[in-house]
Structure 1
Amino acid sequence: MTKPIRKAVLPVAGLGTRFLPATKAVPKEMLTIVDRPIVQYVVEEAKAAGIEHIVFVTGRNKQVIEDHFDRAYELEDTLQSRNKKTALDLLDKLRPVAGATSFTRQQDPLGLGHAIWCARDIIGREPFAILLPDMIMKSNPGCLSQMVDVYNQKGGNVISVEAVPEDQTHNYGIVEIDGDQNDLTFGIKGMVEKPAQGTAPSNLYINGRYILQPEIFDLLENQETGAGGEIQLTDAMLTLMGKQTFTGLRFTGQTYDCGSKAGFLSANIAYALEDPELSRELLPLLREMIGEKGLMAAAE
């Protein structure tokens, strides 16, 4: 019988240099998609998948993330005095229950593998999920919910993947499959971090969602540095792959890489258009801007 997935790790220690100067004082995870921080969408995905405890691996100047998931007494008192019940209900709904979050510090930027290792004592000896907070996954059910369903059937380790154009595989971690990559699920027998152009074993990239067994911590503890001089999670997973099964899940939904400006803006537009009131205001503006852009391009 497989152990349930109860805990998840969110590595939020990154500097967010691609969004400077905005991220000089505001963590990139707290940049907003419409009216919620990026990290809020990821937490909600985790909770919808049955996650009971979230471990945030933080760095310097990330205190605002912890504050976001705490009570705001002054704000709540003001809303209460003004009878803003809808706003109060929203804050109450989004706040985790007591004891459902933990925060641990990654003192040095030694890579994703090291960030995950920093959560080892809080996770303990049970399987857990990893959600990269730059990636917002839009689907129903959510990406992690789909993965948990696969895990409950197959056990082992589960990795979410998506197709990418062949000429872009060198930008991603690419998996080598054991089976038909057109299937919804398939075995994974290898993975390569940013393969040289023309050498990728497939066009399926790891899109930022993992379910891993606790033995990964034993490997990360002694993992040598890899690409970029950092401790790579991919390297540890490759070693674990020789001992445990890995299943790939082709994610059915839309992914927004909010670590890039284009992905961040695309997510804002997509979620804004889902709001009936916002879409009524936004659509005419978008049509006007696109039309003007087309006329300018034609004139050039």
Structure 2
Amino acid sequence: MSVVAIVPAAGLGTRLRPLSDAIPKEMLPVGRALALERIVAELHAAGVERIVFVVSPQKEAFLRKHFGESFGYALQPEMRGLGDAILQARALASGASRLLVALGDAVFEEPELGGLTRRVLATDSPISIAVQQVPRERLSKYGVVAPKAGTEGSTFRIQDIVEKPAPDQAPSDFAVTARYVLPDTLFETLEKTPPAKNGEVQLTDALQLLLRAGVPGSAVPLLPGETRHDIGGFETYFKAFVTFAMNDPEYGAALRTYLKETLQL
């Protein structure tokens, strides 16, 4: 099957200001590689070659200069949500039978590069979503999947998805985690998806429509040793940078020694 990866990277990065006023957050270094470089390496390791970045007009030149013309660049002129961002890539994803959506502000620490993405691609469901277990008190920050009865396991079937539920109303503790494989019919569904109260078109709402219409879906949990790192805010960005820097093959050992001495561990 033909797969096109769509990497939404148009966000304003408001939680990283003033840093993100000068550099797109997706182009910040995470260890010795830029965040988007790590995502591109992950996608290539999973066998995905066609990649479309969805960017704001202000970011387009920045990314084109760095990555060149072997990638697609779709513009999102207004920040109208993740669903709208994906919709802007429709023309450049022409001919794809499956869409791999990889959020541009999340990188993965994993024993095998691209391992999670390969597993998400390998399910036999039209909808395949990476998930991670999250403490219930934090579920209101995520989309949360509802497993089908009797199918919860290493990879399990899902019957529904809910955006940012109250902890006591969440259908499970499995939160959506930045990697999706979706059918090409998603574009038509996004066009029909009503905007949320804030005017944004949400991907979760479109997925809910597909799942409730009977389109099969699977959830692929992170395995031990696989960790999502968000780079959208300073606390999580700092943790991501330090984690990858400590694992650097050339300088990681020296950095770990320095941190132990500094923290008197």
User: Scaled by the length of structure 1, what TM-score is found?
Assistant: 0.81
Structure 2: give runs of 5+ residues left out of the alignment. none
Which residue does 2:128 correspond to in 1? 158
Of residues 63, 66, 70 in structure 2, which corresponds to 1:65?
A: 63
| CA distance in 2 between partners of 1:270 and 1:5 (Å) | 34
Which residue does 1:277 correspond to in 2? 250
Q: Any conservation in 2 of the 1:5–1:129 contact (CA below 8 Å)? A: no
| CA distance in 2 between partners of 1:28 and 1:169 (Å) | 24
| CA distance in 2 between partners of 1:181 and 1:286 (Å) | 44
Between structure 1 and structure 2, the one with the greater Rg is 1
Q: Any conservation in 1 of the 2:32–2:245 contact (CA below 8 Å)? A: no
Of residues 259, 263, 267 in structure 1, which corresponds to 2:232?
A: 259
Does structure 1 residue 234 correspond to structure 2 residue 204? yes
Of residues 101, 121, 125 in structure 2, which corresponds to 1:130?
A: 101
The correspondence of residues 204-219 of structure 1 with structure 2, limited to 5 A, is: 204-219=174-189
Q: Any conservation in 2 of the 1:160–1:250 contact (CA below 8 Å)? A: yes
Aligned residues: 258
| CA distance in 2 between partners of 1:207 and 1:181 (Å) | 19
Does structure 1 residue 11 correspond to structure 2 residue 8? yes
Does structure 1 residue 45 correspond to structure 2 residue 42? yes
Superposition deviation, residue 289 in structure 1: 3.1
The AA in structure 1 aligned to 2:246 is L
| CA distance in 2 between partners of 1:182 and 1:188 (Å) | 9
Of residues 20, 25, 29 in structure 2, which corresponds to 1:28?
A: 25
Superposition deviation, residue 182 in structure 1: 5.2
Select the structure with the greater relative contact order (CA < 8 A; seq sep ≥ 6).
Answer: 2
Q: Any conservation in 1 of the 2:140–2:167 contact (CA below 8 Å)? A: yes
Which residue does 2:217 correspond to in 1? 246
| CA distance in 1 between partners of 2:235 and 2:100 (Å) | 27
Q: Any conservation in 2 of the 1:27–1:61 contact (CA below 8 Å)? A: no
Structure 1, 50-59 or 264-273: larger mean CA deviation: 264-273
Q: Any conservation in 2 of the 1:6–1:50 contact (CA below 8 Å)? A: no
Q: Equivalent pairs: percent with the same residue?
A: 31
Which residue does 2:117 correspond to in 1? 144
| CA distance in 2 between partners of 1:5 and 1:162 (Å) | 27
Which residue does 1:78 correspond to in 2? none
Post-superposition CA distance 1:13-32 (Å, at most 9, x none) = 10001111111121111110
User: Scaled by the length of structure 2, what TM-score is found?
Assistant: 0.92
| CA distance in 1 between partners of 2:167 and 2:65 (Å) | 43
Q: Cα gap change, 1:137/1:60 in structure 2, threshold over 3 Å: closer, same or farther?
A: same
| CA distance in 2 between partners of 1:31 and 1:213 (Å) | 31
Of residues 47, 53, 57 in structure 2, which corresponds to 1:56?
A: 53
